[in-house]
Structure 1
Amino acid sequence: MRIIVQKFGGTSVASPEVRELALRKIEKVREQGFSPVVVVSAMGRQGAPYATDTLIGIARSAYKGIAARELDQIMYCGEMISAVVMAGTLQAAGMDAIMLTGGHAGIITDANYTDARIVKCDPTRLIHLLRQGKVPVVCGFQGMTGDNEFTTLGRGGSDTSAAALGAALNAELVEIYTDVDGIMTADPRIVENAKILDCISYGEVCQLAHQGAKVIHPRAVEIAMQKNIPLVVKSTFSEAPGTLITNIAKEDTDGTAVIDRVATGVTYLNNIVQIKVHLDDAMGTDASFKVFKTMADSGISVDLINVHPGQIMFTINADHAEKASIRLKRLGYEIEVLENCAKVSVVGGGMREVPGVMASFIEALSRNRIAILQTVDSHTSISVLVPQSDVETAVKSLHEKFGLSN
């Protein structure tokens, strides 16, 4: 049995017209001899009546601080509505479709409501249904605890559902359908000549996602990578081949391997605040530990970390700036807070041990007189903190410098 998982995002199931397009994608793989498992997100985006954000708004209209468990119960509904409607669409076309919740499909999670982690994925029921010739339509974004409590998997959780099911079923492929033709070298709203990548590695796409690109959830990629299940990001609205995510080097039609590229894409994150913590000898050798322990205990994620004698620098999301400042000042630290910053990153698996990559990065920004507030790099990415007002210029200049439009 050749299994393929097809995940359709909110814009791909939002109306009867687009559900017909999704139907054709499902019919096509069945004609090719595959047994599809369909995973769906809630219908539409914020403002649509059954979108997840709309349902959250309804719950919080009663009480802004509603408990996470109760929030999960209403968020669960969006995908259930979508899956029922999609199953009906397939049934009308003559398919023996059956709607399943995430729990029905075997996705078991921990009890971390609104951001649950998958503990295991039992494909037994799905395999039984597929052998009967049925087309399972599974609610993405959902799981169930061992105690049969409903949970959700956090933002982008439908991608995670699809990857987990693909891995558990040893699927030949997981297709992620969305409203774009694939993963691009940069945000096309900023870089007009950004290109669609035909192939990208698991590691590169994880870096792009972590650094701000809204392409696919990194947890989904990490799950697929464990069993080397290929992923394809493609559009419901076109026949474009999309972007293949895999460990296997793609080959040209003449059989020659594609030349390894230094950079794969440029991405960015807005709404960043830089915090500088000043230290003195009287604070003791564990002062740095106390700073980061305080952030962790406060539920604040830190990034772009630089530790120097007498000073610590790091960045956080601007939404946490006030809380971080209060907690650090209570401990007696002198701090500086720089608001209205952004993180811009160049990602590429080919930059490892390549001389001059950092020089090219800095040159591109310096030529455009962009202030560099902080930098950090790894084997596969270079990131810089810049004033938020310079984001577009920074992205364009780096995209051009690294030849990503060629």
Structure 2
Amino acid sequence: MRFLVQKFGGTSLLTQELRDRVATRIAEAVDEGYAPVVVVSAIGRAGEPYATDTLLNFALAAGRDLPARELDILMSCGEVISGVVMVNTLQRMGRQAVFLTGAQAGIITDHNHNDARILRVDPKNVISQAKEGKIVIVAGFQGISEEGEITTLGRGGSDTTAAALGVALNAECIDIFTDVEGIMTADPRIVEDARILDNVTYNEICQLAHEGAKVIHPRAVEIAMQKNIPIRVRSTFTNSPGTLVASHNQVYGTIDITTDRLASGVAHIAGVTQFKLTVSEVNIDNPALRIFKALALADISIDFINVSPELIMFTVKDEVAKKATAVLQNLGIHPQIRPNCAKISTVGAGIHGVPGVMSHIVEALAEEQVEILQSSDSHTTIWVLVQQDQMHKAIQALHRKFELGHGKNVP
């Protein structure tokens, strides 16, 4: 069978008109010879009656915290509602369909409630239903532990469900339908000439997603990459082909994404605080070990880490900066603290091994009088830290320097 996994987000399912559009997309896949397996999120966003956040707010109105197990049972309801409604919509169109919960679809997870990881997928029930000619609708964001408990997969869980099913079914493609037309070179609210990327590599989109682009969850990309299952990020509302995510040397149709471009996009994360410590002023043995261990024990996640014999630098989210400061002060350490920063990432598969990329970044920011507070790099990404009030100017400067709005790159 030619399996095609299609995932539809909550905004695509909000009204009956939109659900009819989704059903048409699914029917088109059937008519093209595919056996579609459709993953659905909860309907709408916070404030809508069946959105996950709305259900949570209703349950927590009494002001008491629910245990993690009961939270998972509650949070799994939104996808069940949207899946059953989609079956009804398809049947009204004359299409046979069946709904499966995450457990019924064979999504087996660990026991970590509210943020479970998929251990394996047993797709036999999905395959059996598809062989009977039914369109299989699967609840995203949820699974079942080996102990038989309902679990949820955390942020981006429906994307992860779609990718896991795509790999288990050896699907020809995974289509992620959303309310945007694809992955963009930068946030269009910041960069006016940001454009849709025709194609990106798995590594590029993982970096973009980790560094602030929110179109697809990086865990889903990492799962699909295991079997080189292509992903297309597309709009529910237009016929745009969207963005193809595939390996560096794959050719999909007439698209060869083995290109010589330097940068694919500019992503950003706002609201971070920089900590800087001069090692000679820290009167403890193994300061880096002591500092990072203390922060880990306090459940504080750190990022953008630079360690040298002279300096230790890292960032935390603004909202935990006060807690991190207290942890360090308990060690007798008084760091330099710079709040309200932004981490900006220039991402591209062509960056690795190419001389002059960092000089382009420094030049672009210097021209706009943007101070670089910290920098680091990997084979696909160069990161810089700037003051948040200079973030927009910095993103726009980098987007221009790499000519991302025109589909070109710096030679």
TM-score for both structures, normalised by structure 2: 0.95
User: Distance between the aligned counterparts of 2:168 and 2:402, measured in 1?
Assistant: 38
Aligned partner letter, 2:305: I
The structural deviation recorded for 1:248 is 5.1
1:128 matched to 2:142: no
Deviates more, 1:272-281 or 1:381-390: 272-281
Deviates more, 1:394-403 or 1:304-313: 304-313
Local SS of the residue matching 1:54: helix
User: Distance between the aligned counterparts of 1:399 and 1:167, measured in 2?
Assistant: 35
Local SS of the residue matching 1:111: coil
1:27-78 C-alpha deviation (Å, 9 max, x unpaired): 1110011000010001111211111222222233233543322222211111
The structural deviation recorded for 1:257 is 7.0
Local SS of the residue matching 2:237: coil
Match in the other structure for 2:226: 226
Change (3 A) 1:40 1:61: same
1:142-166 C-alpha deviation (Å, 9 max, x unpaired): 1110111111111111000000000
Change (3 A) 1:64 1:199: farther
Aligned partner letter, 2:136: P
User: Distance between the aligned counterparts of 2:314 and 2:109, measured in 1?
Assistant: 32
Once the two structures are superposed, the pairs formed by residues 304-383 of structure 1 within 5 Å of their partners are: 304-383=304-383
CA contact (8 A) 2:282 2:333 kept: no
Match in the other structure for 1:178: 178
Match in the other structure for 2:7: 7
Match in the other structure for 1:164: 164
1:251-294 C-alpha deviation (Å, 9 max, x unpaired): 69888876321000001001111112343477454221111111
User: Distance between the aligned counterparts of 2:21 and 2:147, measured in 1?
Assistant: 38
Which segments of 5 or more consecutive residues in structure 2 lack a partner in the other structure?
Answer: 407-411
The structural deviation recorded for 1:189 is 0.9
The structural deviation recorded for 1:334 is 1.6
Match in the other structure for 2:409: none
User: Distance between the aligned counterparts of 1:257 and 1:287, measured in 2?
Assistant: 45
Once the two structures are superposed, the pairs formed by residues 2-401 of structure 1 within 5 Å of their partners are: 2-63=2-63, 65-247=65-247, 249=249, 259-280=259-280, 283-401=283-401
Deviates more, 1:316-325 or 1:362-371: 316-325
Deviates more, 1:58-67 or 1:239-248: 58-67
TM-score for both structures, normalised by structure 1: 0.96
CA contact (8 A) 2:279 2:311 kept: yes
CA contact (8 A) 1:278 1:334 kept: no
User: Distance between the aligned counterparts of 2:91 and 2:76, measured in 1?
Assistant: 23
User: Distance between the aligned counterparts of 2:387 and 2:59, measured in 1?
Assistant: 36
User: Distance between the aligned counterparts of 2:66 and 2:330, measured in 1?
Assistant: 29
Change (3 A) 1:282 1:327: closer
Which segments of 5 or more consecutive residues in structure 1 lack a partner in the other structure?
Answer: none
Change (3 A) 1:59 1:371: farther
Measured on the aligned residues, the alpha-carbon RMSD in Å equals 1.7
Local SS of the residue matching 1:270: strand
CA contact (8 A) 1:266 1:398 kept: yes
The structural deviation recorded for 1:311 is 3.0
Aligned partner letter, 1:371: E
The structural deviation recorded for 1:374 is 0.9
1:198-217 C-alpha deviation (Å, 9 max, x unpaired): 11100000000001001200
The structural deviation recorded for 1:399 is 0.3
CA contact (8 A) 1:199 1:250 kept: no
CA contact (8 A) 2:248 2:258 kept: no
1:99-124 C-alpha deviation (Å, 9 max, x unpaired): 11111100111111111100111111
User: Distance between the aligned counterparts of 2:265 and 2:107, measured in 1?
Assistant: 33
The structural deviation recorded for 1:392 is 1.0
Local SS of the residue matching 2:276: strand
User: Distance between the aligned counterparts of 1:67 and 1:306, measured in 2?
Assistant: 38
Aligned partner letter, 2:123: P
The sequence identity of aligned pairs, in percent, is 52
CA contact (8 A) 1:278 1:333 kept: no
User: Distance between the aligned counterparts of 2:183 and 2:282, measured in 1?
Assistant: 51
The structural deviation recorded for 1:346 is 0.5
